[in-house]
Amino acid sequence: MGIALQGDLGNRIDAVLAIAMLNGLIAKMEARRIALCVSRPSIKAAQLADVVSGFYVGRVIAGPGGGVGGNPAGMIGMPETGPAGEDPAPITATLAKKGPDGGPLYTSQIARLLDTADDAVLLRNMLLAQNDGNATIVLAGQASGLSRLLALYGARPQIEAKCKQLVVAIGGYPAGGPDPGITADVAAARTVFAEWPTPLVAVGAEVGAAVPYPGASIEKDFAWSPAHPVVEAYRAFKAMPYDAPAAALAAVLYAAHPEDGLFTLSPPGTIAVSDDGRTQFTPGGAGKHRYVIVDPAQKAQLQSLYVALVSAPPAPRPGRGRGGAAPLAPTAVDASVPD
């Protein structure tokens, strides 16, 4: 399955963890990442996405600080306009991290809007390159970009043909409180829930709370790299130790393995959005919406999968000639790559 991920990397640490989980799925040849977008018009958020993405494709830049950065896997998608707000402290703290010599530890190729791709256009173009029914979009943030994707000329037939389903890690089910990912752009969320043409599966805040990412893993499972942007972001997001609500991880795992029985789905129905950002699921009718239900007995297994996938080293690059794949050395400096 090709997975396109759009998330709020500044306000949701699970959106950062979700990029790492995709790397783990790629390393096991269980998924492909076809696009990565941030859900707010924030250069800092796009830079963080670029740093984390570049880390996992193994580009390490020589220069002051020997910083990790770059993203040869493709441009980061970002909306040009829409609700933004201030850049949260975890973004700026992670990007400001210094190396032993006092130089920047992490570097990004993104410095201005033109260094990013329009998120709606990027998602449309990446869907066009997929086999029919072999793509899934995962949303863990405001729905502004997906609403604009629906408005692009000719996009809906392509979504229907290429996209197996949309998985959204926003809201609470069957009924939940106001969700920041919805209140940031209520109109966009309403549009997506009402008009998205494929099946839609919602992963609510209750799922993220029931199966959080264990903070103890941050302290022990990433020792293979002396500098890791996901670890830095996790520590910057909240005072340690803490377990992070992880609805975005459940959404990515479900997108990659929808038929593996890791989660239970509700009967079909329809999700509506209220003015204050609440979601309400109504079963029955011709609804194409379902929501994920977690069996408490599955918590330990799911957390074990989360840790194994999120803490996995970068996936190996394809080798040259007949030698097959060669493993990455995450801490080696690739001096052949220009600044």
pLDDT in tens, 207-243: 999 999 999 999 999 999 989 999 999 999 999 999 9
* 256-278 pLDDT tens trace: 999 888 999 999 999 999 999 99
Residue labelled with tokens 């859900």: 39
Contact of 119 with 79, CB cutoff 8 Å: yes
Residue 61 has pLDDT above 70, yes or no: no
Question: CA-to-CA distance for 224 and 329, rounded, in angstroms?
Answer: 10
**Domain of residue 68, CATH code:** 3.90.245.10
Per-residue pLDDT at 200: 98
Question: CA-to-CA distance for 6 and 140, rounded, in angstroms?
Answer: 6
Q: Is residue 104 part of a domain?
A: yes
Q: Is residue 339 part of a domain?
A: no
Residues 6+ positions from 197 with CB-CB distance below 8 Å? 156, 159, 160
Residue 13 belongs to what domain range?
Answer: 2-310
Contact of 45 with 91, CB cutoff 8 Å: yes
Strand ranges in 54-94 using DSSP code E only, listed in sequence order: 68-69, 77-78
* 148-174 pLDDT tens trace: 999 999 999 999 999 999 999 999 999
Q: Is residue 133 part of a domain?
A: yes
Q: Is residue 219 part of a domain?
A: yes
Bridge partners for 138 per DSSP: 5, 167
DSSP per position, 207-269: HHHHSPBPTHHHHHTTTT-SS-HHHHHHHHHSSSS-PBP-HHHHHHHHHH-TTSSSSEEPPSE
CA angle 61, 67, 72 (to 5 degrees): 45
Query: Is residue 46 helix, strand or coil?
Result: helix
Residue 71 has pLDDT above 50, yes or no: no
Domain count within the chain: 1
Question: CA-to-CA distance for 269 and 288, rounded, in angstroms?
Answer: 6
Pairing between strand 106-107 and 77-78? Answer: unpaired
CA distances in angstroms from 230 to 26, 50, 53, 126, listed in the order given: 17, 12, 10, 25
Per-residue pLDDT at 91: 87
Q: How confident is the model at residue 87 (pLDDT cuts 50, 70, 90)?
A: confident
Q: How far is CA 228 from the centre of its chain?
A: 17
- Report the predicted TM-score, pTM, of the whole model to 2 decimal places: 0.89
- Pick the most confident of 32-46, 192-206, 309-323: 192-206
Query: Is residue 38 helix, strand or coil?
Result: strand
Q: Is residue 25 part of a domain?
A: yes
Instruction: Provide the mean pLDDT of the chain.
Output: 87
Q: Is residue 335 part of a domain?
A: no
Q: Is residue 315 part of a domain?
A: no
Question: Mean pLDDT throughout 33-44?
Answer: 93
Q: Is residue 318 part of a domain?
A: no
Query: Is residue 199 helix, strand or coil?
Result: coil
